[in-house]
């Protein structure tokens, strides 16, 4: 049986969970999120706990059991505390600035990249002297934050020799030695 799927989800105070036609709606202090689930997975709410059960031990049911438990738990965490993802621009002349939800990036190309952030997310940029610029993404939808952060990173992936590019804060890059020194 799925170890993750068996764990109950603790519903904090101020969060309401409704299910209708295989759609779970989670409302909390930070907003509202929806997730469609498989029709075979059943949801039981007992007081302040939510438990997911599956009908059989088929591989498909076992896979969906843990997946939907994790997705619903992410919704509950999102509407209570929210999520934050930080990216760091490593490289000489790399800059980031934002006006509302429009991000202006200078990543060493011949032109600046204008990137529009979805309205569900909040973006802030921080540039301190002597430090790399940092882009912070905040929101309640973990999937959306991860997708936007991955897209921003793909604009200039960190290269393995000097580590220049857009990377996540705390990401450890695998570095290569480069050319061996001459005679």
Ordered DSSP codes for 81-146:
T-EEEEEEEESTT-EEEEETTEEEEE-SSSSPEEEEPPTTSEEEEE--TTS--EEEEEES-HHHHH
Structural domains for the chain = 3-80 (3.90.930.12), 83-168 (3.90.930.12)
> Using one digit for the tens of pLDDT, what is the confidence trace for 46-104?
989 999 999 999 999 998 999 999 999 999 999 999 999 999 999 999 999 999 999 99
pTM score of the predicted model: 0.88
Is 67:114 a contact under the CB 8 Å cutoff? Answer: no
Question: Token pair for residue 62?
Answer: 């076992």
Instruction: Take residue 121 and report the two structure tokens written for it.
Output: 């997310």
What mean pLDDT is predicted for residues 23-41? 93
165, exposed or middle or buried, with CB in 10 Å at 0-12, 13-18, 19+?
Answer: buried
* Residue 118 C-beta-side C-alpha neighbours within 13 Å: 15
């Amino acid at each position: 049986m799925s170890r993750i799927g068996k764990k109950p989800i603790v519903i904090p105070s101020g969060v309401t969970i409704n299910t209708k036609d295989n759609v779970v709606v989670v409302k909390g202090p930070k907003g509202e999120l929806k997730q469609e689930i498989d029709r075979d997975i059943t949801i039981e709410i007992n007081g302040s706990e939510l438990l997911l059960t599956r009908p059989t031990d088929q591989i498909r049911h076992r896979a969906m059991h843990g997946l939907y438990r994790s997705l619903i738990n992410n919704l509950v965490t999102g509407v209570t505390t929210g999520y934050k993802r930080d990216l760091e621009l490593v490289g000489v002349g790399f800059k980031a600035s934002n006006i509302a939800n429009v991000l202006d990036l200078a990543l060493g190309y011949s032109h600046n990249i204008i990137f529009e952030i979805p309205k569900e997310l909040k973006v802030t940029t921080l540039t301190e002297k002597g430090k790399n610029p940092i882009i912070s993404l905040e929101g309640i939808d973990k999937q959306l934050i991860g997708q936007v952060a991955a897209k921003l990173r793909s604009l200039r992936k960190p290269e393995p020799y000097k580590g220049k590019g857009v990377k996540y804060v705390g990401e450890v890059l695998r570095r290569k030695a480069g050319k061996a020194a001459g005679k």
